[in-house]
Chain A
């Protein structure tokens, strides 16, 4: 049973470009969470999705950031017009239930904005 998969593992973007981060949850999991981790800081919740629905996006900046989890395919976190402050590790987690029980994390995507 494959774990949570994220790609790319490392992403370098210039200021103003778009970043697309992908997450495939564990098989059988329909709940996906995105977190951001800045250096030497804790994980910060961004958005919680189920298939074709955004359940809670209270942790996601209102501008430039968007997320989706289509019926088919991976969940996508999209950052438009990236700025240096977007440089961070972005983690995706999945769970089989609609409460935040134990979550299974992917290896993360490290975004560097130059």
Chain B
């Protein structure tokens, strides 16, 4: 069955550094992949979508890569700020809706 894995351990980094989060998937060949941000007590917020024929996508300080051979996406936040602290969710397109990973919590220390 389809499986999406994100590092369940929180990622702690210093302000100004680059945060890199990983999303791995198996038994799956998605046409695109998405990243969302979720703050405690709130709904997820869409960040980026990358298609299978795109290797890399950027938006301001965010960068996403999509390697369909490795079945992996990397999500980077450069020049991280304490306001970037949140849980980041990877989502793959499924039959009719999105299938989400369990998320990785990022904590940026000032």
Contacts and interface: CB of A to CB of B under 8 A. Distances in A.
Nearest to B101: A42
Given A41-B102, A42-B103, A102-B34, A55 B44 contact: no
A42 to B, nearest CB: 4
A93 B40 CA distance: 17
Contact of B94 (A4, A45, A55, A103): A45
B4 to A, nearest CB: 8
Contacts of B61: none
A48 B96 contact: yes
Interface stretch (A14-22, A68-76, A77-85, A104-112): A104-112
B86 interface: no
B96 A43 contact: no
B97 A56 contact: yes
Nearest to A91: B43
A63 interface: no
B100 A101 contact: no
A20 to B, nearest CB: 19
Interface of B: 34, 41-46, 49, 89, 93-103
